[in-house]
């Protein structure tokens, strides 16, 4: 078997094992992935279209997924303060509790995480997709003289916790 086929098979198997370990009764894999993304995303990146882009899914599929999560009381929709026509989603306490699962992957961070992160970034770049990187590593992230944080792209102030979360607008 060629090395590239073997690597793909290993990544696929790892993904399936991880999904099985964190599976919860009453939640599909798509719902769990959306919940996990919303937990990691900053406030600017919790819109239905951002979820769809991150999960590489259609808007319709993600819309149904988000409605199901809301019906289950795991997320709530809120008007986006920057654009009242848009919604953004936040996890409820019940939604956060659903994610409190330690899998074997948590014990194998470091080198594996860095290597997989690099591979994912290169594959996304080759496809022309969004990087969804950590806010504080973005070229538009600014730390002002008073120590406050700002997104230079969106022109918005950032709370310190937001700088450690995934951002849809991230640029390396």
Nearest CA among 18, 17, 60, 54 for reference residue 35: 54
The span from the first CA to the last CA of the chain, in angstroms, equals 35
pLDDT of residue 116: 79
Summarised one tens digit per residue, pLDDT across range 100-153 is 765 556 666 667 777 777 888 888 888 888 888 889 989 999 999 999 999 999
Could you write out the three-class secondary structure of 49-77? HHHHHHHCCCHHHHHHHHHHHHHCCCEEE
Give me the domains of the chain, ranges plus CATH numbers: 3-108 (1.10.10.10)
In the prediction, which pLDDT does 25 show? 81
Write down the number of H helices and E strands in the chain. 6, 5
- Single out the residue of 131, 147, 127 nearest to residue 139, CA to CA: 131
Mean pLDDT, rounded, for 53-57: 93
CA–CA separation, 99 and 76 (whole Å)? 16
pTM of the model: 0.77
């Amino acid at each position: 078997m060629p090395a590239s086929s073997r690597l793909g098979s290993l990544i696929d198997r790892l993904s399936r094992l991880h999904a099985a370990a964190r599976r919860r009764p009453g939640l599909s894999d798509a719902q769990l992935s959306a919940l996990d993304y919303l937990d990691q995303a900053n406030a600017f990146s919790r819109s239905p279209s951002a979820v769809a882009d991150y999960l590489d899914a259609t808007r319709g599929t993600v819309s149904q997924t988000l409605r199901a999560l809301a019906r289950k009381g795991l997320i709530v929709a809120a008007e986006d303060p920057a654009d009242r026509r848009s919604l953004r989603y936040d996890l409820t306490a019940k939604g956060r509790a659903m994610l409190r699962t330690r899998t074997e992957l948590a014990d194998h961070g470091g080198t594996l995480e860095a290597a997989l992160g690099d591979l994912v970034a290169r594959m996304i770049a080759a496809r022309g997709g969004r990087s969804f990187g950590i806010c504080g590593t973005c070229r538009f992230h600014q730390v002002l003289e008073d120590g406050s944080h700002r997104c230079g792209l969106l022109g918005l102030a950032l709370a310190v916790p937001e700088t450690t979360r995934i951002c849809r607008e991230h640029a390396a």
